[in-house]
Amino acid sequence: MKLNVEVFRKVVANAVIVLVVAGVFGLSLSGVVPASGSGNRPIYKGTSADRVSLMVNVYWGTEYLDGMLKTLDKHNVTTTFFVGGSWVNENEEMLKRIAAAGHEIGNHGYFHKAHDKLNAQRNRDEITAAHSLVRDILGIEMTLFAPPSGAFNQTTLDAASSLGYTTVMWTRDTVDWRDRDTKLIVKRATKNTAGGDLILMHPTANTAEALETILVTLKEKNLTVAPVSRVI
């Protein structure tokens, strides 16, 4: 009897181990990652069923912003501009124009550093410097942070969170900074686009040219372009 009880215990223990392993494996396949560490996570896609956002990251391309703002205004669209502090320092009036048009302003760091290469304090310094400058100019408290070049690690996420920021990545990348192809930019921004998508772009000549078609195409898909905070 004792032997049978011992065998039974081992069988049950092994069965439990198999179930746990299978459960973790199943979660991995489904794209659900068990929580660990601090729990801070970047957002790659929003929860809205019928809204998308255009994430315009700005460190350069000031000469194309006027045209983009006019196109957005023509279609009665507001979205989110993630601005770099060093850019803001030299383009205060343009920042004011973007905000006055009703667009959301997000934090893109100060010097366009690779945040995954920075320690905790330097991560905070980059974010805080940009935050303070924008606050002094516009009187707002930004809450969304887009890491330059999409470079981040857990230290970055924790630093941003400690400053009251949500770290935002993207769902779709137009790669407009590299590929100067208007049709390709339109395709990357609109093909198979769905509610909750965060579409990354920059102020470039081809993006400014593509923006009209992007907005019209998204509307035809019954998708409303809105600021990131209204999509996530």
In total, how many domains does the chain have? 2
Same domain as 163, residue 69: yes
Write down the pLDDT at residue 121: 98
25 has pLDDT over 80: no
36 CB burial (10 A radius; 0-12, 13-18, 19+): exposed
> Same domain, yes or no, for 118 and 221?
yes
Residue 143 CA to its chain's centroid (Å): 12
Contacts of 55 (CB under 8 A, 6+ apart): 79, 80, 82, 106, 146, 168, 170, 198, 199, 200, 201, 228
Q: Which of 84, 82, 87 is nearest to 63 (CA)?
A: 87
Let me know whether 86 and 152 are in one domain: yes
The verdict on 16 and 56 lying in the same domain is: no
Q: What's this model's pTM, rounded to 2 decimal places?
A: 0.83
CA dihedral 208, 87, 154, 143 (to 10 degrees): -80
- Say if residue 169 is in the same domain as residue 81: yes
Residue 25 is part of which domain span?
Answer: 1-34
Distance CA 173, CA 60 (A): 18
Backbone angles phi, psi at 225, to 5 degrees: -80, 130
Mean pLDDT of 159-167: 98
The per-residue pLDDT for 39 is: 57
**Residue 121 sits in the same domain as residue 6:** no
Judge if 166 and 214 occupy the same domain.
yes
57 and 158 inside one domain: yes
Backbone angles phi, psi at 106, to 5 degrees: -115, 165
Share the mean pLDDT of the chain. Answer: 88
Q: What number of other Cβ atoms are within 10 A of residue 134's Cβ?
A: 22
pLDDT of residue 37 exceeding 70, the answer is: no
pLDDT in tens, 58-82: 999 999 999 999 999 999 999 999 9
Tokens of 42: 């970047």
